[in-house]
């Protein structure tokens, strides 16, 4: 199972009296009116990463039918992958870091750029050094992924939002210009079209399912690298995607069993 892959499904949350909730107290009791109630500790990382995988799959299935629709699904998946990464590091800061330092990363009123939070996490969890050697994969690739997401949410002036399309002959559809199609007569540099290490397109409309494969590989590698820096604490016992479920109604008997 790949790092971040959704684990076993959470227990069913439907149907009063269904396993694992136990039976409801006798007919006519107050418990009948309330039914079974459970409480779940949600893992946003698990939720968002699972959603990203679903959109990723849908994008791949759609590309043969409608490229614009596939690209739309791909953009949604990318934002969810990055959202999952944010949830992962912020949750880890709250759960693993020393109490006096957790808010450096985990305080939503003072948001820190994700790249900085990612690098700092090992230092506030323990005596470890900063994570992410700028010269060693997957760190440069991860930085490019975050830079792409930032370019969408902080778009900048029009001069920084140019995209280029090419029609090979009159009447043909325009498709995103590729680096190998740039000729000396065009005042366009390859770096205007895509990021150099990952090949991710800067134009959001040019995003395709195969780019998502790269996004997921980079994110999974970054998680594995961070986990090594934390000596396995990040994912130990599926901590990062575990969603505990417990019954809160009906109340348990004195021997700990549910009614």
**Measured between alpha carbons, how far is 31 from 50 in angstroms, rounded to an integer?**
34
- Which of 32, 65, 92 has its CA nearest to residue 249? 32
At residue 258, the pLDDT reads 44
pLDDT tens for 24-41 read 444 455 556 778 899 999
Query: In this predicted structure, which of 51-60, 181-190, 207-216 has the lowest mean pLDDT?
Result: 181-190
Q: Which of 49-58, 165-174, 177-186, 244-253 has the highest mean pLDDT?
A: 49-58
Does residue 19 carry a pLDDT above 70?
no
* Bridge partners for 201 per DSSP: 194
For 187-228, the pLDDT digits (tens) are: 898 889 999 999 999 999 999 999 999 999 999 999 999 999
pLDDT digits (tens, 9 = 90+) for 148-173: 999 999 999 999 999 999 999 999 99
Question: Would you say residue 17 has pLDDT above 50?
Answer: no
Q: What is the pLDDT of residue 148?
A: 97
Task: State pTM to two decimals.
Answer: 0.83
Buried b (16+ CB within 10 A) or exposed e, 64-89: eeeeeebbbbbbbbbbbbbbbbbbbb
């Amino acid at each position: 199972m790949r790092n971040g892959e959704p684990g076993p499904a959470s227990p069913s949350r439907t149907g009063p009296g269904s396993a694992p909730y136990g039976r409801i107290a006798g007919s006519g009791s107050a418990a009948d009116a309330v039914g079974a109630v459970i409480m779940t500790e949600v893992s946003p990382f698990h939720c968002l990463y699972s959603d990203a995988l679903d959109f990723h799959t849908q994008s791949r299935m759609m590309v043969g039918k409608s490229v614009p629709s596939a690209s739309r699904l791909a953009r949604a998946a990318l934002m969810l992958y990055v959202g999952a990464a944010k949830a992962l590091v912020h949750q880890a800061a709250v759960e693993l870091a020393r109490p006096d330092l957790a808010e450096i990363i985990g305080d939503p009123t003072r948001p820190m750029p994700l790249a900085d939070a990612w690098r700092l996490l090992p230092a506030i969890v323990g005596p470890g050094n900063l994570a992410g050697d700028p010269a060693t994969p997957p760190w440069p690739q991860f930085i490019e992924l975050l830079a792409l997401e930032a370019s969408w949410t902080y778009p900048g002036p029009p001069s920084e939002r140019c995209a280029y399309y090419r029609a090979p002959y009159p009447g043909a559809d325009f498709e995103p210009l590729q680096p190998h199609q740039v000729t000396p007569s065009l005042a366009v540099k390859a770096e205007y079209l895509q990021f150099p290490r990952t090949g991710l397109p800067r134009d959001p409309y040019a995003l395709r399912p195969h780019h998502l494969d790269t996004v997921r590989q980079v994110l999974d590698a970054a998680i594995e690298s961070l986990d090594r820096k934390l000596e396995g604490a990040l994912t130990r016992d599926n901590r990062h995607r575990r969603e505990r479920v417990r019954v809160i109604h009906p109340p348990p008997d004195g021997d700990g069993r549910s009614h």
